[in-house]
Homo-oligomer: A and B are copies of this chain.
Amino acid sequence: MPEDRLSTTLSALADPTRRAILARLALGEASVGELAEPFAMSLPAVSKHLKVLERAGLISRGREAQWRPCRLEAAPLKDVNSWLDSYRRFWEQKFDRLDAYLQELQHIDPDAGKN
């Protein structure tokens, strides 16, 4: 089941633990132990999450003595961004309409209805 890259990326991201790991890595490299520390789960569980992230190309791992420092790799996020981009007009349009509506409210003639 050679799933497409985008699906692999998105499903890797569809887990709060994994997103938290990425957020931590945005601050800089970290060992598995450091990454695991904030979570109420076993180390093997975190190890599995890391493997998922690695398969998705979202992290890479070095080797330094008995530590395996993880590093954020943002390339797949760029792909997600590109995919999203073709939908941007849909949520911006929503804004445009709200905008238009608010403008409309503002431009109501203050004297309307008087007299």
Contact of A16 among B4, B13, B72, B90 (CB under 8 A): B4
Query: Number of A residues contacting the other chain (C-beta, 8 Å)?
Result: 29
Instruction: State the majority secondary structure of interface residues on A.
Output: helix
**Cβ of A72: which chain B residues have Cβ within 8 Å of it?**
87, 90
Binary B-proximity of A9-52 (CB < 8 A = 1, otherwise 0): 01101111001001000100000000000000000000000000
A100 within 8 A of B: no
| Shortest distance between the CB of A82 and any CB in chain B (Å) | 10
A10 to B76 alpha-carbon distance, docked (Å): 14
**Cβ of A15: which chain B residues have Cβ within 8 Å of it?**
7
Q: Given that A7-B14, A14-B11 are known contacts, is A74 also in contact with B91, CB under 8 Å in the complex?
A: yes
| Shortest distance between the CB of A79 and any CB in chain B (Å) | 9
Closest to A25 in B: B90
Additional 15 contacts, C-beta under 8 A, given A11-B11, A75-B94, A77-B87 = A6-B16, A7-B15, A7-B16, A7-B19, A10-B11, A26-B90, A74-B87, A74-B90, A74-B91, A77-B84, A77-B90, A78-B91, A80-B84, A81-B84, A84-B84
